[in-house]
Structure 1
Amino acid sequence: MRSAKLSNKAIIVIGDGSSNGVPGAQIAEGVSRLSRTECRARLGIERDAFVIGFIGRVTSDKGSQCLSEALNLLRGKQDQFRFALLVVGDAEDVESASALKDISIPAVSTGWIDDTLPAFTAMDILCHPTRREGFPNVILEAAAARVPAITTRATGANESVVDRVTGLLIDVDDPLALCGAILELASDAEGRLTMGRHAQDRALKDYDPARIWEALVDIYRGLEPVDVSMY
C-alpha cells in the first residue's frame, strides 16, 4: 500500500473502514457458548424455522419498507422453509414498525436489548437493507457470530460485505432482489455456512479494534501511516 504524508485536505480510510471495529473474538466466544435451540425458545421462535434477522433502528432509512415487501414476496414458500423474522431495535416511526408486523411470515420483535448475542445465535441470516449508511457495525458483529448478511450497495454498507463471499449485496430499495437473496441463502445451507465462516474470519482479521487504534495513533503522531488507504 502506498504511503503518503497527510495534508489538511486528505480524506482517509483507517484500515478497512469502521469507526472503531468490533470485539470480534469476544462475540465469537460468547456465541459459541449459547444454544441456538434455547435462544429460539426464549424468543418464541420455532426451532426449525429459517430466521431472518434485523437489528437496528426500525425506520425508513434502514429499509424497513423494502424488507417488509420482500418478506411478503415469500408468501407461498413458507411450507418449504418455515421463515420467521426477528426484529431487534427501537421503532422510530409507526409506519416502519407496522410494516414489519403486517407481513406474511411469523415475526418476533424484542425492542431494544442490551445483549444481542442470543439474537445473533437465533438467526440464520442478517438483513440490513439500508438506504443510507456510514459503516454498519451490526454487519461486522453478525460476521463475528458467523452470520452472513444481505445488505445494499449504499455507500458504506457496500464495504461491509464482500459480495458472494461473506454475504450478498443488492441495490437500494429493491424488494424483489432482497427476496431473491433470502431464498438463495435459505436454499443453500452449505454455501450459507461457508459465507458465515468467511465473514467471521474477515471480522476477526480486518476489524479488530486494536488494528484501528494503532493506525489512528500513527496519524496523531504525524507519522506516515502504514495502514491507511489514501484517496
Structure 2
Amino acid sequence: MSDHFKVIGVSSAGKELEEVKQDEAIDVVPIEMSRKITPLQDIKSLRNMYKFLKKERPQIVHTHTPKAGIVGMLAARLAGVPHRLHTVAGLPLMEATGVKRKVLDFVEKLTYLSATGVYPNSKGLYDFILQNNYTSKEKLKVIGQGSSNGINTTFFSPDQVNVDQKQLLKKELNIEDSDLVFVFVGRLVGDKGINELVKAFTEMHQEKNLERNSKLLLVGPLETELDPLYPETLREIENNKNIIITGFQKDVRPYFAISDALVFPSYREGFPNVVMQAGAMGLPSIVSDINGCNEIIIEDENGTIVPVKNVEKLQKAMEKILIDSEYYNRLKKNARSMIQSRYEQSVIWNALLNEYKTLLKEK
C-alpha cells in the first residue's frame, strides 16, 4: 500500500512497532491501547487517537483487532474521516458469556456503527456477524476468498530451508529422523486449544503401543495473564520429553520444515495465517471446526477437521496421521498447491488495493 499511499502505522508502543517501521519503511505513531476491558484507559486512547486523526486528516483509516477497532473507528468518525474500514479477524466475544458477552456485543456493534465498511476475513465470520445483527449486510464484504493478508508462497516454501538447517535444528531440539513431528504455532493459551492438544498427544502415547514415535513441537510465547493454561498442562509440557517448547520465533519456517503436520485446535479464529503458512510449507493440518480453519482445510484433501474442545476426536486424528502413511502422503501432496491456488498474497493485496481505489473514486 505504501507504493500507492502515504501509510502511517498506529499501535501501542514497543519493539514490534519499531520493527514494522524498519521492515515496511513507513512512519509509525505509538498510541497506547489496552488489550483488556479498561474504560478509563480506553477513553484516554480514544482522545489521543482523535487528536492524531484531526491533525493528520487521513482519507482512510483501516483498523484491525477489537480494541483498535472501537478506538480507531469511533475516533475516525468523530474526526470526520470519510473512509472508516474495519477488518474482523476473529471475535473474542465468541467465548464470552453473561455480562462480559453483553459488553463485548455492545462494543462490536458500536465499532461497526462507526465504520463505513466492515471486512470479515472469512465467510464464517460474515455469517456470524449477520446472525447476531451486529450490522447490516450492505456494510459487509469479504475480500477475495478470505484472509486479511494472504500468504506469500515464495517466502513460505519448503525450498527456503536447506537440509543442513533442518538437521542442525533437529539436533538442537533432540528430534530423531524417525520421529513424526506434530507442530503448533501460536500463542500458548487456553483458547488456542493447547490444553486439549497436550492431553490428546499424551493419551495417544499412553494408550497405544505405537510402532513410531512422535514429538509435539510448540512454537510460540507462553502467556500467563489473559488466558493461562491449566496447571496440569504446564506440568505435562515440562515433564514430557516428547513435548518441545521453543518460545516465540520471528521466523517459523525452519520449525515447519522439520515438522510433518500442523495441529491447530483453536476455539475461535478469523482466518488463521498459521494454517495457510503450514500448507504453503507442504504440511497437512488437523484443525478445529471453526471459522477460517474449515475454509482453508478441505476434509481428507489437505487435512482433517475435528470438533472444538474434543480431545478424543483430536487424538484419533493425530493417530491416523501417525499410523496411516498412505492417508498422510495424500494430504501432504495436496497441501501446498491448495494454498497457492486460493490464497496467494498478491491476489489479496490487489483486491484490497482495488477496494481502496474504488472507495476514493466514489467520493
In structure 2, C-alpha distance between the alignment counterparts of 1:153 and 1:100, rounded to whole Å: 26
SS at match of 2:286: strand
1:150-229, aligned counterparts within 5 Å? 150-222=286-358
Assess if the C-alpha contact under 8 Å between 2:161 and 2:254 holds in 1.
Answer: no
Assess if the C-alpha contact under 8 Å between 2:194 and 2:229 holds in 1.
Answer: no
Residue 104 of structure 1, CA deviation:
5.8
Residue 190 of structure 1, CA deviation:
3.0
SS at match of 1:14: coil
1:85-124, aligned counterparts within 5 Å? 85-93=216-224, 94-96=228-230, 98=234, 101=237, 106-124=242-260
Residue 103 of structure 1, CA deviation:
7.1
Assess if the C-alpha contact under 8 Å between 1:25 and 1:204 holds in 2.
Answer: no
Residue 136 of structure 1 pairs with residue 272 of structure 2:
yes
- 1:90 counterpart letter in structure 2: P
Closer, same or farther in 2 for the Cα pair 1:182/1:31, shift >3 Å?
farther
**TM-score using structure 1 length:** 0.85
Residue 174 of structure 1, CA deviation:
0.4
Point out the more displaced range, 139-148 or 103-112: 103-112
Large movers: runs of 4+ above 6 Å: none
Question: Which of 142, 145, 148 is equivalent to 1:16?
Answer: 145
Assess if the C-alpha contact under 8 Å between 1:78 and 1:105 holds in 2.
Answer: no
Q: Which runs of 5+ in 1 are unaligned?
A: 1-5, 224-231
In structure 1, C-alpha distance between the alignment counterparts of 2:297 and 2:239, rounded to whole Å: 27
Residue 25 of structure 1 pairs with residue 154 of structure 2:
yes
1:46-61, aligned counterparts within 5 Å? 46-61=176-191
Closer, same or farther in 2 for the Cα pair 1:151/1:29, shift >3 Å?
closer
Q: Which runs of 5+ in 2 are unaligned?
A: 1-116, 118-135
Residue 67 of structure 1 pairs with residue 176 of structure 2:
no
Larger radius of gyration: 2
SS at match of 1:95: coil
Residue 204 of structure 1, CA deviation:
1.6
- 1:95 counterpart letter in structure 2: L
By relative contact order (CA 8 Å, sep 6+), the higher-ranking structure is 1
SS at match of 1:51: strand
Give the structure with the higher percent helix: 2
Residue 9 of structure 1, CA deviation:
2.5
Residue 8 of structure 1, CA deviation:
8.1
Assess if the C-alpha contact under 8 Å between 1:49 and 1:84 holds in 2.
Answer: yes
- Across the aligned residues of Structure 1 and Structure 2, the Cα RMSD in angstroms comes to 2.3
Assess if the C-alpha contact under 8 Å between 1:64 and 1:99 holds in 2.
Answer: no
SS at match of 2:254: helix
Point out the more displaced range, 128-137 or 36-45: 36-45
In structure 2, C-alpha distance between the alignment counterparts of 1:162 and 1:105, rounded to whole Å: 33
